[in-house]
Amino acid sequence: MSTTTDQQPRVAVVTGAGSGIGAACAQRLALDGHAVAVVDRDLDAARLTADLVTRDGGTAVAYGADVCDSPVVTSTVESIVTDLGPVGILVNNAGILRDAMLFKLAEEDWDSVIDVHLKGAYLFSRAAQRTMVEQRYGRIVNMSSTSALGNRGQANYAAAKAGIQGFTRTLALELGPFGVTVNAVGPGFIETAMTRSVAERTGADFEALRGRMAESVATRRTGQPSDVARAVSFLAAEDAGFITGQCLYVDGGLTLPSLPA
Ligand code: NAP
């Protein structure tokens, strides 16, 4: 496999890598020369991504794990260290949507969204940081969202994604002295199963939604998982070691202020 950089190969863990952005991150990090632990609650989906990586000449092992399950996260990270070696890169990407306006937002939908995004990132980071601190090297990239800035019908998701940014800055402060950088990526509208599910749930035609979203941003197009994976690869690189505590929006300009002409 020809790699995109000549940085030292590491072990990269990507959660929620059975589809969408996580799968693209796994493929991209493999192209960068890293061995990838493909983690998803759906082991079959994780295996499909791992197969794509190995088909292209990379190294990948699939793991079935729910990021919210503390004992499972601990044993999964132990297995990864045994199978592939100490973790050098962690991408906390697993995510779900349970959208509703506040007056209809069910408690279980609040809890599940906060759990998958925040508790999941906390559990995996806590388990992985041990080997990073021992190595005096690490790159953690957490998946935030433009929804962190507020989005109708997403009080649970926006709170989780804004929480991810505070979590990121705090870990950056705590782990920086040990050679570990911690950053976030904030995607805008990216074409994945997640955004297709939004169209389905609201009864909108996906192509029409995609067209509207494209028209609303400076780049006049919607994002692809590979757009986000490129940013993750950049922040996960060895020579990005002076960048920490940041959130890099990958949104085609969605978060730019729109000033009156
Ligand atoms: P996706 O295609 O639905 O992928 C998310 C993956 O995470 C799925 O494979 C999902 O499995 C897995 N997952 C969910 N809960 C899990 C758990 N408890 N443990 C382990 N794996 C779990 O969505 P995506 O669009 O690629 O989203 C990836 C990340 O980007 C998420 O954090 C999302 O919030 C964020 N994001 C996406 C967009 C966008 O426009 N797509 C924008 C901003 C941020 P199941 O399929 O079984 O649920």
Q: Tell me the per-residue pLDDT of 196-227, one tens digit each, with 9 for 90 and over.
A: 999 998 899 999 999 999 999 999 999 999 99
CA 261 – ligand 1 centroid, Å: 37
Tell me the catalytic residues: 157
pLDDT mean over 246-260: 94
Best mutation site among 19, 67, 76, 117 for ligand 1, i.e. most ligand atoms within 8 A of its Cβ?
Answer: 19
252 lines ligand 1 (CB under 6 A): no
106 Cβ contact list (under 8 Å, min separation 6)? 98, 100
Question: Helices 43-55 and 20-31 sit at what angle, rounded to 10 degrees?
Answer: 30
pLDDT-derived band at 5 (thresholds 50, 70, 90) equals low
Selection from 73, 173, 88 nearest residue 126 by Cα: 73
What is the predicted pLDDT for the residue at 4?
60
Q: Do 157 and 99 form a contact (C-beta atoms < 8 A)?
A: yes
pLDDT at 261 over 90: no
What is the token pair recorded at 10? 């590491």
pLDDT mean over 131-152: 98
Which helix H or strand E contains 90, and what residues bound it? strand 87-92
Using a 10 angstrom Cβ sphere, with 0-12 exposed, 13-18 middle and 19 or more buried, the burial of residue 254 is: buried
Residue 217 Cα distances to 188, 258, 260, angstroms? 10, 10, 15
89 lines ligand 1 (CB under 6 A): no
pLDDT-derived band at 259 (thresholds 50, 70, 90) equals confident
CA 194 – ligand 1 centroid, Å: 7
96 lines ligand 1 (CB under 6 A): yes
Residue with tokens 């937002």: 105
What is the predicted pLDDT for the residue at 258?
83
pLDDT-derived band at 7 (thresholds 50, 70, 90) equals confident
Half-sphere exposure of 33 toward its Cβ, with a 13 Å CA cutoff? 12
